[in-house]
Amino acid sequence: MTPEERHRERMQRKKELIDRKIARATIERGVLVVNTGNGKGKSSSGFGMLARSLGHGFRCGVVQFIKGSFSTGEEAFFRRFGEDLDYHVMGEGFTWETQDKARDIAAAEAAWKVAADMLADASYDFVLLDELNIALVKQYIDLDAVLTALASRPPEQHVVITGRGAPDRLVEVADTVTEMRVVKHAFQAGIKAQRGIEL
C-alpha cells in the first residue's frame, strides 16, 4: 500500500468515526460556555462567538463586568450593530484601579440586574457576560442567583461567561468549559498593552 493509500484509509476511518459522533448529537438547545483561566483569549473568544451570532442574524446582548474605565476595540466595533445588539459596559474598571470595594460591588450589582433581565428574555438568542467570573470570585454577586437565572433562562438561549477563576459550581453546570493557560505573554517582557491585541 502506498503512503497516499494509507493516508486515505486513515482519513476514511476518521471520517466514519466523526460522522457517527455527529449523528448521535441530536439535542438542540442553547449552550452555556465558560471561558476561564489565567491565559489571554477568554473575552476574545466570547466576542468571536458574538460576531458569529450576529452573522447568523441573532439578537444579542453584552454585559461587561469590571471593564469600563477605558474604551476597547471590541466595544467600538460592536456598537455599530444597532438594534441587533444591546451592549452595556457596566464596570468601574479593574479593582486595583478603583480601590473602592463598595463602588465595585454597586457596579457589579447594577450590571447583574441588566444581565439577569437579558437571561429572562427569550428575545435574546445570545448573551455574553464578560468578566462575570471576577465578580463571582470576589463575591460581588451571589453565585446562587446567577446559577438560578442560568437554569431558568429560555431553552434556546446561548450564554458565554468569561473571566479568571470560574467557580466550580458554574463549571459543573456549563456545557463547554475552556481554560486558557499562559505560556508566554508580552507584558512579562515589559511590552505595554496594544490596541487591537489587548485593547
**pLDDT at res. 76:** 81
**pLDDT at res. 97:** 56
Rounded to 5°, the CA angle 56-88-118 comes to 65
Residue 102 has pLDDT above 90, yes or no: no
Cα–Cα distance for residue pair 61/103, rounded to 1 Å: 24
Rounded to 5°, the CA angle 111-143-182 comes to 85
Mean pLDDT of 93-114: 79
* Residue ranges of domains in the chain: 30-189
pTM over 0.75: yes
Residue at grid coordinates 457589579: 108
Computed from CA positions of residues 42, 45, 51, 53, in that sequence, does the dihedral angle turn out positive or negative?
Answer: negative
Rounded to 5°, the CA angle 96-97-102 comes to 75
Across the beta sheet with 158-162, the strand order is 85-89, 60-64, 126-130, 158-162, 32-37, 176-180
- The per-residue pLDDT for range 109-119, each reduced to its tens digit, is 999 999 999 99
**pLDDT at res. 58:** 96
Of 83, 90, 150, nearest in space to 123 by CA: 83
Least confident of 68-82, 121-135, 153-167, 168-182: 68-82
- With the CA atoms of 27, 31, 34 and 39 taken in that order, what torsion angle do they form, in degrees rounded to the nearest 10? 80
- The per-residue pLDDT for range 151-169, each reduced to its tens digit, is 999 999 999 999 999 999 9
- The per-residue pLDDT for range 11-44, each reduced to its tens digit, is 999 999 988 988 898 889 999 999 999 999 999 9
The structural architecture, per CATH, of the domain 30-189 is: 3-Layer(aba) Sandwich (3.40)
Mean pLDDT of 87-101: 68
